[in-house]
Amino acid sequence: MTQRIVDLTLTLSDNMPAHKLFQRPIVAPHLTHEKSLELGLGVPGDPMTFATTFISTLDHIATHVDAFFHTSPNGAPVDEMPLSMFMGKAVCFDMTHVPDLGDIDVADLEAAEDATGVKVDGHIVLLNTGLHKRHYPDIKVVWSNPGLTAEATHWLADRGSKLHGVEGPSTDKPSHNLFPSHRVCRDRGITHYEWLVNLEELVGKGEFMFYGPPLKIKNGSGSPVRAWAVLDE
């Protein structure tokens, strides 16, 4: 048996699409090899040059995880959440039948659970809707994502799923401001990843390991992550 790593991370790039409430990031050259050549570093005939990149971003841009503090003033910021929370056994549900701005409900989760043959019991549950391939990088992507209903989010919490993950900017639809899934996450002490990609590679693979460690940002309401799955094949 061999193992394969699937990168689930959306590249953080300059002016990339972001949630309707959030400023887009700035990613730009800072120090370039050409400019640093003028500093005269290194030795004659072998100059030492450097490149650095300026990054200005909110903590909810590109592939990221929400800290408990994001939705609750009394919730833990990302730097106080245990690293062990951001990894574990996982399963990916096929939700490609759910249209743009559609609802992912309990019936969808139960049907997908039956199809995968994996009973959710403390798993990280990833939801493949096909949103990313349909729309990214068009700005339409931030106005099109399906949403998890409150009942579906409770369903995950009832089965010990502390984390779930979606494509696109939010677990809630952009077409209203009620945020039912975020509110259930807040009330049930669970949270989620957003802007995951390549989830279609995980559909039908059964149980696998997921990793999505955040940066240790002081008082962070979330963090960009490098997320990946490890498949046994």
Please determine, for residue 104, whether its predicted confidence score (pLDDT) is greater than 90: yes
- State how far the Cα of 145 lies from the Cα of 156, in Å rounded to an integer: 19
pLDDT, tens digit, for every residue of 160-204? 999 999 999 999 999 888 999 999 999 999 999 999 999 999 999
Cα separation values, 65 from 19, 69, 215, Å: 14, 11, 10
pLDDT of residue 174: 95
Exposed e or buried b per residue across 90-121, where buried means at least 16 C-beta atoms within 10 angstroms of its C-beta: bbbbbbbebebebbbbeebbeebbeebebebe
Please determine, for residue 17, whether its predicted confidence score (pLDDT) is greater than 90: yes
- State how far the Cα of 96 lies from the Cα of 133, in Å rounded to an integer: 11
Q: What is the CATH number of domain 64-232?
A: 3.50.30.50
pLDDT, tens digit, for every residue of 65-74? 999 999 999 9
CB 209 within 8 A of CB 90: yes
User: For a pLDDT cut of 90, what percent of the chain falls above it?
Assistant: 97
Please determine, for residue 105, whether its predicted confidence score (pLDDT) is greater than 90: yes
Among 137, 151, 150, 155, which Cα is nearest to 195's? 137
pLDDT of residue 77: 98
pLDDT of residue 176: 81
pTM of the model: 0.95
pLDDT of residue 157: 98
pLDDT of residue 91: 98
pLDDT of residue 1: 83
pLDDT, tens digit, for every residue of 32-79? 999 999 999 999 999 999 999 999 999 999 999 999 999 999 999 999
First to last CA, the chain: 6
User: How long is the chain?
Assistant: 233
Q: Grade residue 14 by pLDDT with cuts at 50, 70 and 90.
A: very high
What are the structural domain ranges in the chain?
A: 26-56, 64-232
Would you state the structure tokens that stand for residue 153, as one six-digit string? 């989010």
